């Protein structure tokens, strides 16, 4: 995308996980001349805000907020009511409503009315197919679409949604288009809602991602210093044996709850091995030996500066980046 085209949008929305690729997307926008006060960071809360703490890192929400504060960009949060655990336990019922913050921080709820009643009662499947890997579809993609579709400010305007998928990550992601109309686009409809989806780091390798993070001296999420190679949930369904061993080492209660769900559902996440069997075969990441790092990752408050004066490449960089295939 050339500079003239890039600067021609009214709204810029970064799907912001707090991970390296979404950070790289944001910094690339800044380097390309988009003012920080025109960029919105939208973070989708995987566990929701109804009390569940099953899958995600406790520190992530505040890390994202502090990142936005440091650079001068607005941060908004959105989620499926009940989060991952609520959707997973759906039993002869419709999917829950979506909640999101608008530009004035008003809490808006929508959805959860139409659709068929159905039952899940099992974890998302480890697959590139979003119809069965429902955590990405229901807790991220659909949530973002709902938040755009239900705000009139996006009518009669041009919006750019930015996300950090990279071709290097998987064969499936290599097929993604760098620029295309977003799922929420309705430019030919009555609302004239023009929404494009741009993946600016799609062709980047991991080195280039870390290079731009180092250039801006951004202090990475604590998960990378613990040894995780990518930031999704702490207990990501794509986690390998070493990740599951590390989760069991630093968050035993969370791990045990997941293991108990596998027994209850009589279906394991990885189908051939339970999370306990995977963890038994794995090794704990070296960073998980640091009690200070563990405490930081499990805190609700990120108490470090976002801009680091003594930047260091975290131990998880160029490591095991298990994710969507």
Assign residue 165 the CATH number of its domain.
3.40.50.620
- Asked whether residue 118 is domain-assigned, the answer is yes
- Residue 259 CB-half CA count within 13 A: 18
Return all residues near 94 (Cβ < 8 A) that are at least 6 apart.
112, 113, 114, 115, 116, 117, 118
Q: CA angle 228-230-233, nearest 5°?
A: 85
The parent domain of residue 25 ranges over 3-221
3-state secondary structure of 195: strand
pLDDT tens, per residue, the chain with 325 residues: 899 999 999 999 999 999 999 999 999 999 999 999 999 999 999 999 999 999 999 999 999 999 999 999 999 999 999 999 999 999 999 999 999 999 999 999 999 988 899 999 999 998 888 888 999 999 999 999 999 999 999 999 999 999 999 999 989 899 999 999 999 999 999 999 999 999 999 999 999 999 999 999 999 999 999 999 999 999 999 999 999 999 999 999 999 999 999 999 999 999 899 999 999 999 999 999 999 999 999 999 999 999 999 999 999 999 886 666 5
Query: What tokens appear for 302 in the block?
Result: 């990120």
* Sign of the C-alpha dihedral computed for residues 28, 146, 63 and 174 taken in this order: negative
Distance CA 93, CA 78 (A): 22
Domain count, the chain: 1
- Asked whether residue 21 is domain-assigned, the answer is yes
Q: What is the model's pLDDT at position 147? A: 98
- Asked whether residue 201 is domain-assigned, the answer is yes
Distance CA 253, CA 260 (A): 10
- Asked whether residue 285 is domain-assigned, the answer is no
Calculate Rg over the CA atoms of the chain: 19
Return all residues near 299 (Cβ < 8 A) that are at least 6 apart.
58, 59, 62
Q: What is the model's pLDDT at position 129? A: 87
- Asked whether residue 250 is domain-assigned, the answer is no
Helix or strand run (H / E) with residue 215: helix 206-215
Burial class (CB in 10 A: 0-12, 13-18, 19+), 97: middle
- Asked whether residue 112 is domain-assigned, the answer is yes
Query: What tokens appear for 265 in the block?
Result: 């559902």
- Asked whether residue 300 is domain-assigned, the answer is no
- Asked whether residue 307 is domain-assigned, the answer is no
């Amino acid at each position: 995308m050339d500079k003239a085209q890039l600067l021609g949008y009214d709204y810029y929305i970064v799907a912001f996980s707090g991970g390296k690729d979404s950070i790289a997307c944001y910094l690339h926008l800044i380097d390309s001349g988009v003012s920080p006060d025109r960029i919105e960071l939208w973070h989708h809360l995987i566990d929701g805000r109804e009390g569940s703490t099953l899958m995600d890192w406790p520190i992530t929400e505040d890390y994202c907020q502090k990142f936005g504060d440091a650079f001068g960009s607005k941060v908004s949060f959105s989620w499926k009511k009940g989060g991952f655990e609520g959707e997973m336990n759906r039993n002869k019922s419709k999917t829950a409503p979506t909640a999101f913050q608008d530009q004035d921080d008003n809490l808006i709820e929508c959805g959860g009315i139409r659709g068929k009643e159905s039952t899940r009662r099992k974890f998302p499947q480890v697959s590139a197919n979003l119809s069965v890997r429902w955590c990405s579809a229901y807790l991220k993609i659909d949530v973002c679409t709902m938040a755009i579709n239900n705000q009139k400010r996006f009518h009669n305007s041009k919006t750019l949604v930015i996300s950090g998928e990279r071709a290097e990550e998987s064969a499936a992601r290599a097929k993604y288009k760098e620029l295309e109309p977003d799922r929420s686009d309705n430019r030919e409809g009555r609302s004239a809602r023009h929404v494009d989806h741009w993946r600016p780091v799609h062709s980047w390798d991991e080195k280039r991602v870390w290079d731009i993070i180092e250039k801006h001296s951004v202090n990475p999420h604590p998960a990378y210093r613990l040894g995780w190679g990518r930031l999704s949930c702490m207990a990501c369904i794509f986690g390998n044996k070493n990740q599951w061993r590390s989760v069991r080492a630093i968050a035993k209660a969370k791990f045990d709850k997941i293991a108990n769900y596998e027994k209850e559902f009589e279906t394991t996440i990885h189908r051939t091995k339970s999370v306990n069997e995977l963890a038994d075969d794995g090794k704990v990441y070296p960073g998980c030996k640091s009690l200070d790092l563990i405490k930081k990752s499990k805190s609700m408050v990120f108490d470090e500066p976002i801009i680091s004066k003594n930047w260091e490449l975290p131990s998880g960089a160029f490591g095991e980046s298990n994710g969507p295939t």
